[in-house]
Amino acid sequence: MRARLHLLKKIKTCEFFMPGMVDTRIHASQYSYTGTALDLPLLEWLNTYTFPVEAKYKDLGFANNVYTKVVRRTVKNSPTTACYFATMHTDASLLLGELADKFGQRALVGKVCMDSNSAVPQYKESPSECKEETDPFIKELLKKGDCNGPTDEKLEIFRETGSAISHCPNSNISICSGMLNVRNVLNHKVKLGLGTDVAGGYSPSMLDAMRRTLDTSKTLTIQDPQHKTLSFEEVFRLATLGGSEALSLDDQIGNFVVGKDFDALRVNVCVPDGPIDLFPGEGPKVILEKFLNLGDNRNITEVYVAGRRVVPFPDT
């Protein structure tokens, strides 16, 4: 605590601490082709790009190279979790389960449902037709899922079962799978966090996830003027506390409540040659909004995970 107070005293008016952002969905094994290969529907995309690349991970040199880079790229934005596609039952997915058992909830393994209707052609019923309360496959997927266009009935099932949704707007747009009505999800009191969904999404940045969540919400308002657009404050909550709630980690991280782990970003909006300009009279709310809309990794000067500074990275 004394060290933390010392840091706070040193902070200038254009610097602040904020809770660490929580990426609720990222596929580390897909990172090598992030930003490319977004020309196909989901299942064709998996067969053409994902599965052949995943086969390369038997080469430990290749695996070490990719995972070193993905960790360095993502840790500056948030602690992240491991996820795998629901229809895959490979040695890799089994290994993730072993890691989750070994390291506890900080190494969660997620399941994916209803990315798009084409994702489950091997089942007799599409996600829009199946009966979640009786279908054991879908009932299992509801434990953690990502879905587009859930009906009010399905959202009630999500709420009743304590299930969570990972909203990944970049990948939803990139692979043309739809636009989630986050407002409707929140109205049903379903837990929801944001994710990058690399490499279906082409950006590993949670700042990008927040911006595209706002863009999606505004697009829905264009389509339906009765739709209430999300505010940047609501999206900020989804990227922090919302993500921790979706992963059942809200008793440990997500905000600065006393007793939780100190997961935090130190943000400097006045970093030299940075992307943000400040002007007289701008208060904390305006400064935060400017960072969320204009900022990038140059503005994130330090990252703390459970009280330990992990950025800047050590030289070794």
Q: How confident is the model at residue 78 (pLDDT cuts 50, 70, 90)?
A: low
Is pLDDT at 170 greater than 70 in this prediction? yes
> Which residue did the predictor score with more confidence, 19 or 5?
19
Supply the CATH number for residue 309's domain.
2.30.40.10
Is pLDDT at 180 greater than 70 in this prediction? yes
Same domain? 243 vs 167: yes
Q: What is the pLDDT of residue 194?
A: 94
Helical segments of 57-190, H only? 60-75, 91-103, 136-141, 152-161, 169-174, 182-187
Same domain? 103 vs 208: yes
Q: How confident is the model at residue 101 (pLDDT cuts 50, 70, 90)?
A: low
Same domain? 175 vs 197: yes
Q: What is the pLDDT of residue 268?
A: 95
Q: How far apart are CA 196 and CA 297, in angstroms?
A: 15
Q: How large is the average pLDDT for residues 172-194?
A: 92
Supply the CATH number for residue 39's domain.
3.20.20.140
Same domain? 14 vs 130: no
Same domain? 46 vs 171: yes
Same domain? 190 vs 269: no
Predicted confidence (pLDDT) per residue in 14-41, tens digit: 899 999 999 988 888 899 999 998 888 8
Same domain? 73 vs 161: yes
Same domain? 172 vs 55: yes
Q: Of the residues 204, 235, 253, which one is the last residue of a structural domain?
A: 253
- Residue ranges making up the domain that contains 307: 1-20+254-316
Does the global pTM surpass 0.85? Answer: no
Q: How large is the average pLDDT for residues 90-106?
A: 48
Same domain? 94 vs 197: yes
Same domain? 303 vs 215: no
Give the CA radius of gyration of the chain.
20
Q: How confident is the model at residue 11 (pLDDT cuts 50, 70, 90)?
A: very low
Number of structural domains the chain divides into: 2
How crowded is the C-beta side of 250, counted as CA atoms within 13 Å?
16
Q: Of the residues 199, 220, 253, which one is the last residue of a structural domain?
A: 253
Q: How far apart are CA 53 and CA 73, in angstroms?
A: 19
pLDDT, the chain, mean:
79
Q: How far apart are CA 230 and CA 184, in angstroms?
A: 11
Q: What percent of the chain has pLDDT over 90?
A: 45
Is pLDDT at 181 greater than 60 in this prediction? yes
> Which residue did the predictor score with more confidence, 135 or 163?
163
59 burial class (0-12, 13-18, 19+ CB within 10 angstroms)?
Answer: exposed
Q: Of the residues 253, 272, 306, which one is the last residue of a structural domain?
A: 253
Same domain? 162 vs 308: no
Same domain? 294 vs 148: no
